[in-house]
Structure 1
Amino acid sequence: MRRLTVLLLLTLLLVAALAHWRGIWAVAPQWNPWAPLDVRLPPNLLTGFKLMRLGRDPALCTQALATSSLRYTPLPDSAPTARCPLRNSLRLQSADLAFSSSFIASCPLAVAFALFEQHELQPAAQAAFGQPVRQLEHFGSFACRAIAGSARTSQHASANALDIAGFRLADGQRITLARDWQGDERAARFLRQVHAGACRSFNITLGPAYNAAHRDHLHVDMGGWRLCH
């Protein structure tokens, strides 16, 4: 059934692209698979496809970033001989919220974060508390290492992952995964909404329910398959 769904989606994309190319059908940018991703528009069935293209096309990723509120500094590609080479990466300073510290992110991770903040995190905060998140606390992104307990290279080694530890609201209230995942009902409900939103925004989201190593943070990354736990 999953293969049939993917095949049907690819067929529809091909038909839509051909119709648009021939001038038969004027497609709105958010429904045109080849149009740059606009972070301001609500995500749809094509968002994952557009995010996937960003990793292969730095210029396309830069166009997507221009539609976001992210403030960042582009970083030069590291030498191919580096132990953990980085390409198409940025140092993120802030967004509509502040970060506990700046961090390095691959361009696709940065765009996915911008989508997450605008369409998932802030709406969840407004619904739960009637106010926005003003700061995101994190444990870092880039780390040249393998997955814990494995020989496989971590997505952190290419700055393609971020560990989110908590949030500070506009009134100063602090909400953390370590304390509130099983804590106050409203805060716990908010964190579960944030977790669900992260699953829609990133390829992989791992939270406290996954294992003890993630008891105090959400691991989000743009790895090659989808996993939400």
Structure 2
Amino acid sequence: MNFSPGKARRKWPFSKSACGETAKMVTGVTLLLVICAAYDPASAARRRATGLLPFWGGLFGERATKPRRAALHATVPLPKPRPADAPAIESEQPAVVNRSPAEGAAPVPKPRPADAPATKSEQPAEREQPAAPPPPSACRLALSEEIAIAPSIPDIHGPGGCGGEDLVRLEAVVLPDKHRVALKPAATLRCTMASAIADWVRTDMAPLAASLGSEISDLDNFDSFECRGRNRVAGAQLSEHGRANALDVRGVKLADGRSISLTDREVPRDTRETILHSVCARFMTVLGPGSDGYHEDHIHLDLMERHNNYKICQWNVWDPLPQVAPLLPAARPEEAPPREVAAKADTDKTDADKADAAKSDGAKPASPRAAGPKRRGANKKSAGKTGAS
């Protein structure tokens, strides 16, 4: 066989570069094993105990620990104990010497009890003064005790805009003759609404009661201030009752005991129409029967402000119901005899009628129909007798 360098290279593909890379790999693995062996925990602990360094001499930052000197604890000297035969120590507090003011010493002030009031000198020089109440409004000044009994009450600020300011509790309206018309119960209203109610009662309702031959004594308050929506519907717009700007009236009571219900059909129509015209001329909103189904038994009055002073007056004055056949019998007349006597008389009359009927039946002659069969029988008997003879 003929071997040449070129052929040998093709048969065994080794070169210098391949041998060099193999040598580098073997060297790296050997160095890694040596380092791992040097970092064995047991070996490292022994070297620290003996103070020996690895063969690379602290190349990777490891240093031998140097022994430190033990810390010296200084002893603090204590005082010697007091001898038993030493004199007793007097109190270190200075004695208080009572001196009179004449000797120049200021008198010691006595302690003041905790519940004692503060003197003028102890009171602060500048104390915060409470805010002065606002002056009364023009409406409050005009609504005097000669017109209405309406004491002022604090302002109300509720949720959703409920309440209002310049509020009063309208208890009664004073007529020009000093007679009082009570509101039952008392109404919580704004001063302007209370003034309008008082003017209506004094100017319109009092003359109406006088025309009926009496005087007004009570005003039936069905509802005044109440924080709620319109018609008590959940989520509805705030009612004027929630602003203390409305009053629901059910009727009035007269001094002679009569009651006038504003929605009763039995009340004369002209009386109800007179009240209708008076309230529609004074108030911004009037709701009654026929308005929305929520005011069939009372009249709603308020002073709601609208654009161009627009008013709403919805109150149908219904006619009385038609007369129908009574469901019950008419009342017994006062001049009628007692029921027991009348019942006995009716019984005697019935017995007498029966006796008369029986007598009349016995006195009547027999009818031809009743006598007919007897006659036919008699004829047969007579015929038999004739044939036998």
Give TM class, smaller chain.
0.5 to 0.7
- Residue 144 of structure 2 is matched in structure 1 by 66
Mapped partners of 1:132, 1:100: distance in 2: 17
Partner of 1:142: 225
From 56, 76, 79, the equivalent of 2:154 is 76
- Whether the 8 Å CA contact 1:68–1:114 is kept in 2: the answer is no
Write the letter of the residue equivalent to 1:118. R
- TM-score computed with the length of structure 2 as normaliser: 0.40
Over residues 89-113 of structure 1, what are the superposed CA-to-partner deviations in whole Å (9 max), with x where a residue is unaligned? Answer: 1111111311121110111100110
Q: What does 1:114-133 align with in structure 2 at a 5 Å threshold?
A: 114-127=198-211, 129-133=212-216
One-letter code aligned to 1:209: G
The two structures, once aligned, show a CA RMSD in angstroms of 2.2
1:85 and 1:214 mapped to 2: Cα distance? Answer: 23
Larger % of strand: which? 1
Residue in 2 aligned with 1:16? none
**Are the counterparts in 1 of residues 261 and 267 from structure 2 also a CA contact under 8 Å?**
no
- The CA deviation string for residues 9-34 of structure 1, in whole angstroms up to 9 with x for no partner, is xxxxxxxxxxxxxxxxxxxxxxxxxx
State the one-letter code of the partner of 2:143: L
Equivalent pair of 2:181/2:218 in contact (CA under 8 Å): yes
Q: Select 2:261's aligned residue among 176, 181, 201.
A: 176
- Return the offset for 1:66: 2.2
| Partners of 2:213 and 2:192 in 1: CA distance | 30
4+ residue runs over 6 A deviation: none
1:111 counterpart residue number: 195
Looking at structure 2, the residues matched to 170 and 79 of structure 1 have their Cα atoms a distance apart, in angstroms, of 39
- Structure 1 residue 164, shift from structure 2 partner: 0.0
Q: What is the correspondence of 1:1-229 to structure 2 with a 5 Å cutoff?
A: 59-66=137-144, 69-79=147-157, 84-95=162-173, 96-127=180-211, 129-148=212-231, 149=233, 151-178=236-263, 180=264, 182-185=265-268, 188-225=269-306, 226-229=311-314
- Deviation of the 1:126 alpha carbon: 2.1
Measure the CA separation in 2 of the matches of 1:117 and 1:165: 14
Task: Answer 1 or 2: higher relative contact order, Cα 8 Å, separation at least 6.
Answer: 1
Larger Rg: 2
Q: Distance in 1 between matches of 2:260 and 2:298?
A: 11
Q: Which amino acid aligns with 2:155?
A: D
- For 2:219, give the aligned amino acid: L
The alignment partner of 1:212 has SS state of: coil
Instruction: Give % identity.
Output: 30
TM-score computed with the length of structure 1 as normaliser: 0.67
Using the TM superposition, name which of 147-156 and 168-177 deviates more.
147-156
DSSP 3-state at the match of 2:164 = coil
Q: Deviations along 1:69-94, whole A, 9 cap, x unmatched?
A: 21012011124767513211111111
What's the secondary structure of 2:270's corresponding residue?
Answer: helix
Cα shift readout 1:153-178 (whole Å, capped 9, x = no counterpart): 10000110000001111101012134
